[in-house]
């Protein structure tokens, strides 16, 4: 199990970091009061939670009065045996002031008697227990949101295989192509089991249809070329920090050829560093 604590100075990009982890499949909680951290970790370590479960929380000064027990809370979760990682974000004071000025949002520690610069410095002091225990510190002074997402993905990706979510979806053109597909492959040119005696009521999940399609030389050739195309281009999408790719495979009715080919592709890419999923739209 991977468990991240995201913290840092207001305006440094904590929400961006947490959203990046959520896009990677992490269960995320924003602004968890520090006093609740040990209770949450106990639930995570319960017998009902699978080892593949990943979670992240952000802790910041919006609940400043709970931060008084922060060091004790961190000691408690260490005693529970959870190997957690802290990502602490910061930026130069001038940059934080500029960001708050541009967004016109109020710093959580400012009020009628506390100017912005004092709020920033007070926040640094309050979050010292987390900054001193941080696994990774990121200065976002000159970092764009796009670059920060990449840094988080790279750091978390070293601890988790789960990165790009790759969905293979079969469908029938007679019912319309899926609007959210990134790639659509038309396999209607392949021999159709629908016209073979005894195969019409079956689907691409049935062995008789599988055997028939395996025997058609065009089918493995089509599968191989789609595999080669995706193998060449998916790394470029990963480099651009894409979280989801949907590959749609369409035949006429969406019950035979597309179902079989989607399954073959999913099986092929399961051994690669992608979170592979499969959906048969016309069978659901």
Per residue in 25-53, pLDDT (tens digit) is 899 999 999 899 999 999 888 866 666 67
Residues 123 and 233 in one domain: no
* One domain, residues 190 and 86: no
Do 12 and 141 lie in one domain? The reply is yes
* Domain, as residue range, for 58: 3-157
Task: Output the pLDDT for position 1.
Answer: 78
Question: How is residue 187 annotated by DSSP?
Answer: -
What gap in Å lies between CA 33 and CA 42, rounded to an integer?
15
pLDDT of residue 112: 87
pLDDT at 247: 96
Predicted local confidence at residue 96, as pLDDT = 94
Among 94, 74, 92, 93, CA closest to 84: 74
CA gap 276, 272 in Å, rounded: 9
Whether 123 and 210 map to the same domain: the answer is no
Q: What share of the chain is helix, strand, coil (3-state, %, to 5)?
A: 45, 20, 35
Of 157, 173, 194, the one marking the end of a domain is: 157
pLDDT of residue 164: 80
Domain boundary among 128, 157, 186: 157
134 and 25 co-located in one domain: yes
Q: Please provide the average confidence, as pLDDT, over all residues in the chain.
A: 90
Tell which of 157, 179, 210 closes a domain. Answer: 157
* pLDDT score, position 24: 85
Q: Are residues 109 and 171 in the same domain?
A: no
The arrangement of strands across the sheet holding 55-58 comes to 27-29, 55-58, 3-8, 84-90, 136-139
> Are 57 and 190 contained in the same domain?
no
Which regions of the chain are under pLDDT 50? 161
Question: Same structural domain for residues 148 and 9?
Answer: yes
Output the pLDDT for position 206: 97
pTM value is 0.61
Same domain, 221 and 270: yes
Q: For 238-262, write each residue's pLDDT tens digit.
A: 887 777 799 999 999 999 999 999 9
CA 120 to CA 108: how far, in whole Å? Answer: 9
**Cα distances (angstroms) measured from residue 49 to each of 1, 25, 30, 36:** 9, 15, 20, 18
Residues 15 and 140 occupy one common structural domain: yes
Q: Do residues 131 and 80 share a domain?
A: yes
pLDDT given at position 242: 76
- Dist CA 16 CA 152 (whole Å): 9
Instruction: Please give the tally of structural domains in the chain.
Output: 2
Which pLDDT belongs to residue 64?
73
């Amino acid at each position: 199990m991977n468990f991240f604590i995201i913290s840092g100075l207001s305006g440094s990009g904590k929400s961006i970091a947490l959203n990046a982890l959520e896009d990677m499949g992490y269960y995320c909680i924003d602004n968890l009061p520090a006093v609740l951290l040990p209770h949450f970790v106990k639930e995570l370590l319960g017998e009902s939670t699978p080892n593949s479960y990943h979670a992240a929380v952000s802790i910041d000064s919006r609940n400043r009065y709970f931060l008084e027990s922060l060091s004790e809370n961190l000691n408690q979760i260490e005693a529970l045996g959870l190997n957690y990682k802290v990502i602490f974000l910061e930026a130069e004071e001038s940059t934080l002031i500029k960001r708050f000025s541009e967004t016109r949002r109020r710093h959580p520690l400012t009020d009628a008697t506390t100017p912005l610069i004092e709020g920033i410095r007070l926040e640094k002091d309050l979050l010292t227990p987390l900054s001193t225990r941080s696994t990774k510190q990121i200065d976002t002074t000159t970092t764009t949101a796009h670059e920060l997402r990449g840094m988080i993905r790279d750091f978390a990706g070293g601890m988790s295989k789960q990165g790009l979510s790759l969905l293979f979806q079969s469908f029938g053109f007679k019912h319309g192509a899926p609007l959210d597909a990134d790639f659509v492959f038309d396999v209607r040119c392949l021999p159709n089991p629908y016209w073979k005696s005894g195969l019409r009521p079956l689907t691409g999940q049935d062995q008789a249809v599988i055997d028939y399609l395996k025997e058609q030389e065009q089918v493995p050739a089509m599968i191989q070329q789609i595999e080669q195309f995706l193998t060449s281009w998916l790394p470029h999408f990963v480099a651009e920090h894409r979280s989801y790719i949907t590959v749609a495979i369409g035949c006429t009715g969406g019950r035979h050829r597309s179902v079989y080919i989607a399954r073959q592709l999913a099986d092929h890419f399961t051994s690669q560093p992608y979170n592979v999923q499969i959906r048969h739209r016309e069978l659901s």
